[in-house]
Structure 1
Amino acid sequence: ELWLFCTGSPILILFPNGLVLLADLKVDCGRDSVTLRWGAAQSQMDTSLLRLGGCYPSSISAGEAMFQVEFSDCNFSRLVTGDTLMYMNELIYMSGPKAQLKSFSHPVVCAYERPADWAPRMFDPVFHTYGEGDLVFHMELMKDDFSGPHLSREYPLGSFIHISAAVEQMGHQPLLLLLEECVATTTPELQSEGPVHPIITNKGCLVASKNSKFEPRQKTSEIRLSLQAFKFAVGKEVYIHCNLLAWDPSGLDTSKKACHYVKGHGWALLDDPYHSTLCGCCDSSCEPWKTSGIASGKHGSTQSAVLIGPLVITDNSPA
């Protein structure tokens, strides 16, 4: 029988500048998931900046945010001690450098009675920890709200092409899915000759259009892209080729990232806006940091080339 460790009491946080935040944090632990509700009395707080591990809020409203996630997502850690099984994470608030309310974090714990027949799976830790096993990658065209596959393959010029990519993590540690490179062509094969339209270049820089963007993540193992239909091979069949990369969420650098352009702010890092300096190379050439100590053998690089299409971009404007 499971027992739940949940919180539902006011939280008082004191910052160095003397600002006090009073909030209610309620955690409802399920068998394989958790629902977390955060309510803050401070009106200057932007609840969209809250993160549970690597996950964005499932819904937000004035002064409130809610997360509904599974323990397999959001970088939860699992700890077994004696008769107790615990899933642990952190609720993080990432404010801007000039914001009055500074960044903070708060622990989130779900504790259970360890089932009598529970035992950790026996596996080769190198195989699973470093992602050297087979992974299954998916990519498809989606409806505007990403609720299902897009039924039409025609996109008027200027409309948005919504793309979802995902990796099935199987028994691996939590993986962060990135779109490393994407191009559009008029053939299902990448050829040395023929027109090519760059979409994502420079190891994760979305360059196709300043109006295109990565959508907030729902899961670390999924990435969503809203791509404005571009003037390329109008009226012809278009194919989109992408190189997908499954990576350790803690191992981002200039060659492992997801960057898009935000009007008025410049290049922004999807997964951690505070480290958007990683995107500073998007207008030049992105190379790994030599001092970062990051290597594919350590952080688990697993790649796959994926193709979607054909789709057709139409131009109905008067000649």
Structure 2
Amino acid sequence: MCFLQQGVILILVAACLAQDGGFNLDCKPDAVTIKWPQKLTQEQVQNPYTFLLGNCIPSSVSEDGALFRVGYNDCLFQRAVFGDKIVFMNLLSYRPDSAVPSVFHIVDCVFDRPALLTPLAAQPGIQGTNEEKPIFSMELMNDNFSGPAPSTTFSVGSTISLRAAVAEQADAPQQIFLNECVMTESSDPYLANETYTIITDEGCLLEGKYGNATFLPREKPSEIRLSLAAFGFADTEEVYLHCKLVSWQAHQLDVDLKACNYRKEKQRWELLDDSSRSDLCSCCDSICQQRTRGLWQNVVVGPLRIQQESRKDSVWKGPKGSAVFWLLTAAVPVVLLIATGALALSYYLCIWRGGRLGYRPSRDLLNKY
């Protein structure tokens, strides 16, 4: 993960340097406007493909330059979440003709993310008497959710099953949502050196788009289930999952009260509770509207121990594994020795000796010396 973060930093630095290139950039939460002033001939105006933003041609082209007005879901924009920042990046290019060098610029729009996991003391949503507070819980479950997980140790790629719930209230049935979740190597998310986003933008399961995770069908509104493929950080085996749980009146879905899965086969977001209203998830590739409503609380699950695959490889365990290991240890040098000998013999026969088969030293030269 540290390499990923360093890569994002380098990209941001390069982007800032590249944006001294003379174009005007206006970043909005849902779209960007780019004006690139260039003196163009009439022939260039009639060929808009000289300008490209990702894979998009300009919205309009005139003798004074090109204008783009596009959303972040279009034109191959790439999204990166880095700490408290959301960055949308793209490549702006100008290729007039073979006689004129092409020009490239990195376009980036950087937005502040809302503060994640506000300390409980600052949570007005759960102030009041005990009767007014919902009772939130989040726990590790076994694969079929029939009981608690037998262990908190997982191998990379195995399934982590999580169940979050809010206490049911007869007079006002509640529905629970996972609005934010991050994975860190620290029990305190503010002290973590590395943070990996699982869920963002008020219920968008980002890990389902770039990794392997999904919200599972609900058994009832007061519960929500999450299946996540285990992954670890490079410098530690212990990780913590920090989540913000929100409850609201049952069946009252909205942009800030949603659970969105990414369907890779369809390449689109889908609302867990009502696929016909998946338009509520359309902001998951940009920035979703933030509201302060509902009752909510932060929870921490962990530590979870994530073991790398190589640590459980059978070649290092047991009598059979040991035999295989020593067999490989002995066989590899022998194979290398045979290969080296074959190469040496081939060189001697084909090049050294082969090049001298017709060679006879001159007697005159021998007599001379």
SS of 2:219's equivalent in the other structure is coil
Relative distance call for 1:132 and 1:182 in structure 2 (3 A) is: farther
**Alignment-derived partner of residue 267 in structure 1:** 269
**Alignment-derived partner of residue 289 in structure 2:** 287
**Alignment-derived partner of residue 218 in structure 2:** 217
CA contact 1:186–1:233 (8 Å) conserved in 2: no
Normalised to the residue count of structure 1, the TM-score between the two structures is: 0.53
**Alignment-derived partner of residue 36 in structure 1:** none
SS of 1:281's equivalent in the other structure is helix
CA contact 2:185–2:233 (8 Å) conserved in 1: no
CA contact 1:269–1:278 (8 Å) conserved in 2: yes
Q: CA deviation at 1:179?
A: 0.3
Relative distance call for 1:308 and 1:295 in structure 2 (3 A) is: closer
Q: CA deviation at 1:251?
A: 2.6
1:238 maps to amino acid: V
Q: CA deviation at 1:317?
A: 3.9
Q: Which one of the candidate residues 272, 276, 279 is aligned to 1:277?
A: 279
Structure 1 unmatched runs, 5+: 1-130, 289-293
Q: Quick one: higher RCO (CA 8 Å, sep 6+), 1 or 2? A: 1
Q: Distance in 1 between matches of 2:310 and 2:201?
A: 33
Structure (1 or 2) with the greater strand fraction? 1
**Alignment-derived partner of residue 230 in structure 2:** 229
Q: Within 5 Å, which residues of 2 pair with 1:33-72?
A: none
**Alignment-derived partner of residue 163 in structure 1:** 162
CA contact 2:201–2:284 (8 Å) conserved in 1: yes
Q: Distance in 1 between matches of 2:236 and 2:283?
A: 34
Task: Decide which structure has the larger Cα Rg and report it.
Answer: 2
CA contact 2:184–2:192 (8 Å) conserved in 1: no
Q: Distance in 2 between matches of 1:281 and 1:264?
A: 19
CA contact 2:160–2:228 (8 Å) conserved in 1: yes
Relative distance call for 1:295 and 1:200 in structure 2 (3 A) is: closer
**Alignment-derived partner of residue 316 in structure 1:** 309
1:145 maps to amino acid: N
Q: Distance in 2 between matches of 1:202 and 1:239?
A: 20
1:159 maps to amino acid: S
Q: CA deviation at 1:233?
A: 4.6
SS of 1:135's equivalent in the other structure is coil
1:139 maps to amino acid: M
Q: Distance in 2 between matches of 1:235 and 1:152?
A: 18
Residue correspondences, number: 180
Structure 2 unmatched runs, 5+: 1-129, 314-369
Residue-by-residue CA offset, 1:15-54 (whole Å, 9 max, x unaligned): xxxxxxxxxxxxxxxxxxxxxxxxxxxxxxxxxxxxxxxx
**Structure 1 stretch displaced more, 219-228 or 260-269:** 260-269
**Alignment-derived partner of residue 176 in structure 2:** 177
Q: CA deviation at 1:235?
A: 4.9
Q: Distance in 1 between matches of 2:196 and 2:149?
A: 22
Structure (1 or 2) with the greater helix fraction? 2
CA contact 1:155–1:311 (8 Å) conserved in 2: yes
Q: Distance in 1 between matches of 2:269 and 2:233?
A: 24
